[in-house]
Amino acid sequence: MDAELFPLAEDSAVSVLSGLGSYTLVASEPPWSSLAPLVRPPARLITPGNMELSALGSLLADEPDTDVVVGLGGGLALDTAKYIAWKTGKRLVQILSVVSVDAGFTDAIGARVDGKVTYVGSVVPEVVILDIDLVRSAPARLNRAGIGDVLSCHTGLFDWQLAASRGEGVPWDEKYAAPCRELLRDLAEYASEIRIVTRDAVRWLVSAYRRIGGLSRAAGHSRFEEGSEHFLAYAYEHLNGGQQVHGELVSMCSVAVATLQRNDPETVRRIVTESGTRANPTDLGIEKDAFIGSVTGLAEYVRSARLDFSIAQVAVLSREVVHEMWESVTTLPRRGS
């Protein structure tokens, strides 16, 4: 029922771009310069970078009279394209050039206001294009990071159940939880294929995002996919101005939060390890003090950003617990770039 909300087609980015009328293109680099000589040029080209709401708003002033907005790239490009399509009411086509985040299959537009994540509106693309060859030409490391936005269901479901049991937020609904648990089981099975970025692994990751995106759209929330693992990632970014790859940071935070939740952290660690995803803080350039500051500042960050009720509100963060969380991530395998 729900997955159809995000129409998906496998096609080549070049043929899709060549078949459009006048279009505004929000494209990441790479891959844009390798595709540019092969397609009809866009009426406007935007290189995404700044997700602050004020910066996004300033993009609207120069928007020409085009038929369609196209996002081409990873999260930044797709989210920026969503914002422009939402504000202008234009059709939206999203072309995935990497499967590092679920942004192609989320209707919520996540901007930043003073560095804090804020959802400003929502829009559903006319179609999401999966160009498998283009995706597989992206650095493997980025595609592996795609596990983060599925793995987050492990800790997100826990937080949702915790909140619901206390009468906080939206009530528990098994109809949304059950498919997410199924995706987590499949993720464990696909982990070793994701490591080598097989065609099936790319297709599976995309289908998982699409399924979760459809469930979020139907439910009107994302409690099963976004919990304190994302909040910890946002808190870290807010406090430290993070430059991490979203899925790698979320993977690290999923391990740390599963440890805090006493929620089978070994399964999370195994998936991270088998998929070869970088999540050891040393590899991500995350220092111990910054990690600990984000963990101890999490509850306050969640309150001030008005995020959902989660383990962050009830956990007692003793020195031992914080140390255990740090241990859980620093003992993950080291990965090169």
The neighbour count for residue 87, using CB atoms within 10 Å, is: 18
By beta-carbon proximity to Zn ion, the closer residue of 149 and 237 is: 149
Nearest residue to Zn ion by CB is 149
Tokens encoding 95: 């072309």
Annotate each residue in 42-71 with x if it binds Zn ion (CB under 5 A) or - if it does not, as one string. ------------------------------
Segment interacting with Zn ion (CB under 5 A) among 2-10, 24-32, 84-92, 145-153: 145-153
Amino acid letter, residue 153: C
Amino acid letter, residue 17: L
Can you tell me whether residue 295 is helix, strand or coil? helix
Cα three-residue angle 26-52-279, rounded to 5 degrees = 85
Q: How many residues bind Zn ion (CB under 5 A)?
A: 1
Max distance between CA atoms of the chain, in angstroms, equals 60
Q: Do 304 and 314 contact (CB within 8 A), yes or no?
A: no
**Measured distance CA(253)–CA(297) in Å, rounded:** 14
Segment interacting with Zn ion (CB under 5 A) among 2-10, 78-86, 149-157, 321-329: 149-157
By beta-carbon proximity to Zn ion, the closer residue of 6 and 32 is: 6
By beta-carbon proximity to Zn ion, the closer residue of 81 and 147 is: 147
The least distance separating Zn ion from the CB of residue 71, rounded to whole angstroms, comes to: 16
Q: Is 149 in the site for Zn ion (CB under 5 A)?
A: yes
**Measured distance CA(225)–CA(70) in Å, rounded:** 26
Q: Is 107 in the site for Zn ion (CB under 5 A)?
A: no
In the block, which residue shows the tokens 């700044």? 50
**φ and ψ at 305, to 5 degrees?**
-90, 0
The least distance separating Zn ion from the CB of residue 226, rounded to whole angstroms, comes to: 7
Q: Is 308 in the site for Zn ion (CB under 5 A)?
A: no
In the block, which residue shows the tokens 């708003």? 57
The least distance separating Zn ion from the CB of residue 149, rounded to whole angstroms, comes to: 4
Within a 13 Å sphere around the CA of 82, how many CA atoms are in the beta-carbon half? Answer: 26
The least distance separating Zn ion from the CB of residue 250, rounded to whole angstroms, comes to: 5
By beta-carbon proximity to Zn ion, the closer residue of 149 and 159 is: 149
The least distance separating Zn ion from the CB of residue 237, rounded to whole angstroms, comes to: 12
Segment interacting with Zn ion (CB under 5 A) among 143-151, 190-198, 236-244, 306-314: 143-151
Interface positions with Zn ion (CB under 5 A): 149
